[in-house]
């Protein structure tokens, strides 16, 4: 827990990096394996800390889980335990994805209120409301959400906000509900499409994946499947912004560029040369970036998970940028750490104003979440001297082989043990 990264500034990143499967997809796919008895196999899984954490959750529910590199085998029993282990669930937010499958499969789910990143309030109101419209009763009891249903029935559900997590839990519950469910204002993220594709391969009947309206015709049972996880657009976007910030030349493979259309467009506006391919892109930058404004929104808007990278490039851009956060209210904690590095930034509600300077100044900084941690490493690359990033277990939860890939691209980053 006390490991840290020492980042030497001044590197220019150059070369090729491959993106693995998406963290924001694989954990939900693992949870969806609960819906069918038998062995489901997932390929292209990222080697990150959250995958074995989800393995622990599933094992506590009675599944057998084997991780072999980038392949995960999940064998779900005929009778699944409905109570998710408190200690396993509370470690990370994505564990709440078992709520929908357990309610559908067992008629009961007890899932501890999850922990995870410190990026703001993420209540389960929409998850509970959606399950209730499908016929379940829900309540918060002893620090856990409890859902119970003798039978789920299709319903017309409209989300107040296109929440990814609520969309996933309503979707995984409704595939086994009786009749038709129409989910309006559903999340449109590529990870939702990936989940829909896996569920369809399991025998679910889903229309509208990738649109704001999902139509689900319930089936009586599903079968196990084999599925390849979609590429991680947030990791890919991190490499794109790292290339631009360090005035580098980086080619990223394993990702469909359309999943990053707006972030790549923003880099073009900042002065980068961006080439796209079928499953990859190249970002080149040979000068100081130009200031660009950003506002985070649900897909296809600018991803909140790339907001720290937008702030990072803005700290060294020529001119003034305004970044507006519309998804998570506490994500600007990251700015406090950039102030340690000498950034000229001021926060006003859900806006931050950044006046770019030519170079940041190295010091010790602390990660508050996965993306903020990665953003601080990128900031260290454009600072003078050595920047030490603490609490890097956050980064390990979302970025496979992060240091190895950075150093392969020309950076100098070291992992320091607790006693160093």
pLDDT at 329: 67
For residue 114, pLDDT beyond 90: no
For residue 310, pLDDT beyond 90: yes
φ and ψ of 51, to 5 deg = -65, -50
Q: Is 327 annotated as a binding residue?
A: yes
* Interval 6-36: pLDDT, tens: 999 999 999 999 999 999 999 999 999 999 9
CATH number of the structural domain 25-217 = 3.65.10.10
Q: Is 23 annotated as a binding residue?
A: yes
DSSP output for 155-182: -EEE-SS--HHHHHHHHHHHTTSBSEEE
Say whether 25-217 and 4-17+232-416 share the same fold.
yes
For residue 120, pLDDT beyond 50: no
Mean pLDDT in residue range 387-395: 94
pLDDT at 155: 98
From the candidates 20, 50, 117, 396, which is the catalytic residue? 117
Under the banding of pLDDT at 50, 70 and 90, the label for residue 420 is low
The whole-angstrom separation of Cα 377 and Cα 289 is 18
pLDDT at 419: 63
Mean pLDDT in residue range 80-102: 85
pLDDT at 359: 96
CATH 3.30.390.50 fits 4-17+232-416, yes or no: no
Which ranges of 98-207 would DSSP assign to H, the alpha helix?
99-106, 125-133, 164-174, 190-201
In the residue annotation, 87 being an active-site residue is answered as no
Cα–Cα separations (whole angstroms), residue 218 to 26, 41, 154, 301 = 23, 23, 7, 31
pLDDT at 85: 76
For residue 118, pLDDT beyond 70: no
The whole-angstrom separation of Cα 299 and Cα 164 is 10
37 DSSP β-pair partners: none
* Interval 163-181: pLDDT, tens: 999 999 999 999 999 999 9
* Interval 213-237: pLDDT, tens: 999 999 999 999 999 999 999 999 9
The residue ranges of every structural domain in the chain are 4-17+232-416, 25-217
pLDDT at 115: 55
Percent of the chain exceeding pLDDT 70 equals 96
Q: Is 24 annotated as a binding residue?
A: yes
**To which residue do tokens 């994946």 refer?**
209
């Amino acid at each position: 827990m006390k490991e840290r990264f020492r980042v030497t500034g001044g590197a220019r990143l150059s070369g090729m990096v491959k993106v693995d499967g998406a963290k924001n997809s694989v954990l939900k796919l693992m949870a969806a394996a609960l819906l069918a008895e038998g062995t489901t196999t997932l390929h292209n899984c990222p080697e990150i800390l959250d995958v074995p954490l989800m393995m622990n959750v599933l094992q506590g529910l009675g599944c057998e889980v084997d991780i072999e590199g980038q392949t995960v085998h999940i064998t779900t029993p005929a009778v699944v335990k409905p109570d998710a282990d408190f200690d396993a669930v509370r470690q990370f937010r994505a564990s709440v994805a078992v709520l929908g499958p357990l309610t559908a499969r067992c008629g009961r789910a007890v899932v501890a209120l999850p922990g995870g990143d410190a990026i703001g309030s993420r209540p389960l109101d929409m998850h509970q409301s959606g399950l209730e419209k499908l016929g379940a009763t829900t309540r918060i009891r002893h620090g856990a959400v409890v859902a119970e249903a003798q039978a789920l029935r299709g319903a017309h559900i409209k989300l107040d906000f296109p929440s990814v997590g609520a969309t996933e839990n309503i979707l995984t519950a409704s595939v086994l509900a009786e009749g038709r469910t129409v989910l309006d204002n559903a999340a449109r993220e590529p990870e939702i499409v990936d989940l829909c594709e896996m569920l369809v391969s399991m025998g679910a009947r889903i229309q509208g994946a990738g649109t704001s309206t999902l139509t689900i015709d319930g089936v009586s049972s599903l079968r196990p499947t084999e599925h390849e996880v979609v590429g991680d657009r947030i990791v890919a976007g991190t490499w794109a912004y790292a290339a631009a910030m360090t005035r580098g030349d980086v080619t990223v493979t394993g990702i469909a560029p359309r999943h990053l259309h707006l972030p790549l467009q923003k880099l073009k506006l900042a002065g980068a040369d961006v080439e796209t391919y079928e499953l990859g892109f190249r970002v080149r930058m040979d000068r100081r970036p130009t200031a660009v404004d950003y506002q985070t929104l649900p897909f296809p808007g600018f991803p909140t998970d790339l907001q720290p990278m937008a702030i990072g490039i803005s700290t060294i851009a020529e001119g003034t940028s305004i970044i507006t956060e519309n998804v998570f209210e506490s994500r600007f904690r990251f700015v406090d750490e950039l102030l340690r590095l000498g950034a000229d930034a001021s926060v006003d509600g859900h806006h931050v104003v950044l006046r770019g300077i030519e170079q940041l100044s190295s010091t010790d900084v602390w990660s508050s979440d996965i993306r903020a941690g990665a953003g601080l490493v990128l900031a260290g690359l454009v600072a003078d001297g050595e920047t030490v990033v603490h609490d890097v277990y956050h980064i390990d939860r979302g970025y496979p082989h992060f240091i190895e890939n950075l150093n392969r691209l020309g950076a100098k980053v070291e992992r320091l043990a607790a006693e160093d």
